[in-house]
Structure 1
Amino acid sequence: MFSKALFALSSVAFLIAAAPAPAPPPAPSIAAPAAVVADPANRLILQLSNGGTVVIQLRPDLAPNHIARIQTLVRQGFYDGLTFHRVVPGFMAQGGDPTGTGEGGSKLPDLKAEFTAVPFVRGTVGAARTQEPDTANSQFFIMYNPNPSLDGNYTVLGRVISGMDAVDKIMPGEPPAEPTKIVKASLGG
């Protein structure tokens, strides 16, 4: 009897050990879902002082609170006239600060981080913040090149779907001597 029980227990242990581990959930896609793409309010259009226009597909499926904030600020005209105050070639262009110093934001409260597994590749738009995760407000950055060190550590807001050539022409510097401005920010199109 004892040997049958031992055999039964060892058989169960073998079956448990032999069972494959459950697959991890799939990472969110770089591509936006069809429902997100279909909503014009999820397209941010930036007309730049360098003559270019940048269209960003916003991702409320990844960062609903951050996207709601951007949409609110765009409707208020908050971004109109602001500069890209920190532009590092090969890394990113950062804007959205009314002070132009990188230390400012809107009068609205800071946001809690909404991190995902979506990677920071060329054209990804992320929420700028301090070293503390829950300090994003109005500032954002656009990636020039992939940067895996940001993956899962910064909130992905969306991705440039048109106008990366205009992003490439944003004046570099921290701050630039003659910063590129957002002439007009709008939603739709």
Structure 2
Amino acid sequence: MQLRKLASSALVAGALVASLGMASAAEPENTLILTLRNGEVTIGLRPDLAPRHVEQVKALVEEGAYDNVAFHRVIDGFMAQTGDVQYGDVEDGFDARLVGTGGSEKPDLPAEFSEAAFARGTVGMARSQNPNSANSQFFIMFAPAEHLNGQYTVIGEVESGMELVDAIKKGDAAQNGMVQSPDKILDARMASDDAN
């Protein structure tokens, strides 16, 4: 009797997860691993929501473009932004005046807005006022932000290591979250690379 109740509860929980649209762990080829100073953050990328954006991020990861790139804009209770491969590499070419304005040598992307909500752990693509200007920069949400829903492209969600994201050095609120001596991505790789 007890086993039957447990099995029934598991089925109900599984149905609830499916009905809420929660994703299970991403396949290795869509699992991004960011090594930060305190450990690894695992992000499940969502090519089902934003195929072009995910493809571009994966290509930049494969090139090593995100290695040593700063979390240049970090707003406590909101989000941590990184990915400026042009001006944000703290080991090569970091420019405190321009970081956050650059991208990569790849083209900007047309928006791939979706119904996915910006919740804690959601990863979205940064852009300018032009909706079709996302390139290489992305941000990770500390908390939900409904005002971003349908306005920015969601590319994934943190699967593990959110406590490490929470520990990223915060910026000055008076300067829109710009960070002095920022934390960085030590290494970015796809989980599928680990199998090779």
Alpha-carbon contact 1:62-1:114 (below 8 Å) kept = yes
Aligned-partner SS, 2:163: helix
* Structure 1 counterpart of 2:186, one-letter code: V
What is the deviation of 1:30?
A: 4.9
Aligned twin of 1:31: 22
Question: Which stretch has the larger CA shift, 167-176 or 141-150?
Answer: 167-176
What is the deviation of 1:178?
A: 2.1
* Structure 2 counterpart of 1:97, one-letter code: D
TM-score for the superposition, normalised by structure 1:
0.80
Aligned twin of 1:48: 36
Aligned-partner SS, 1:90: coil
Aligned twin of 2:114: 116
C-alpha separation in 1, matches of 2:187 and 2:160:
16
Aligned twin of 2:47: 60
- Unaligned runs of 5+ residues in structure 1 are 1-27
Aligned-partner SS, 1:87: strand
Say whether 1:178 aligns with 2:166.
no
Equivalent of residue 106 in structure 1, options 104, 107, 117: 104
Identity of aligned residues (%): 52
Alignment of 1:1-189 (within 5 A): 30-32=21-23, 37=26, 39-49=27-37, 51-98=38-85, 99-100=87-88, 101-173=99-171, 174-188=177-191
* Structure 1 counterpart of 2:145, one-letter code: N
Alpha-carbon contact 1:30-1:119 (below 8 Å) kept = no
Aligned-partner SS, 2:127: coil
C-alpha separation in 2, matches of 1:72 and 1:123:
22
C-alpha separation in 1, matches of 2:71 and 2:41:
13
TM-score for the superposition, normalised by structure 2:
0.77
Alpha-carbon contact 1:55-1:162 (below 8 Å) kept = yes
C-alpha separation in 2, matches of 1:135 and 1:31:
28
What is the deviation of 1:162?
A: 0.2
C-alpha separation in 1, matches of 2:184 and 2:45:
20
C-alpha separation in 1, matches of 2:180 and 2:71:
11
C-alpha separation in 1, matches of 2:84 and 2:147:
24
Alpha-carbon contact 1:57-1:160 (below 8 Å) kept = yes
C-alpha separation in 1, matches of 2:181 and 2:34:
18
C-alpha separation in 1, matches of 2:50 and 2:32:
15
Alpha-carbon contact 1:29-1:118 (below 8 Å) kept = no
C-alpha separation in 1, matches of 2:20 and 2:102:
31
Could you list the runs of 4 or more consecutive aligned residues of structure 1 that deviate by over 3 angstroms after TM superposition? none
- Unaligned runs of 5+ residues in structure 2 are 1-18, 89-98, 172-176
What is the deviation of 1:29?
A: 5.8
Alpha-carbon contact 1:30-1:118 (below 8 Å) kept = no
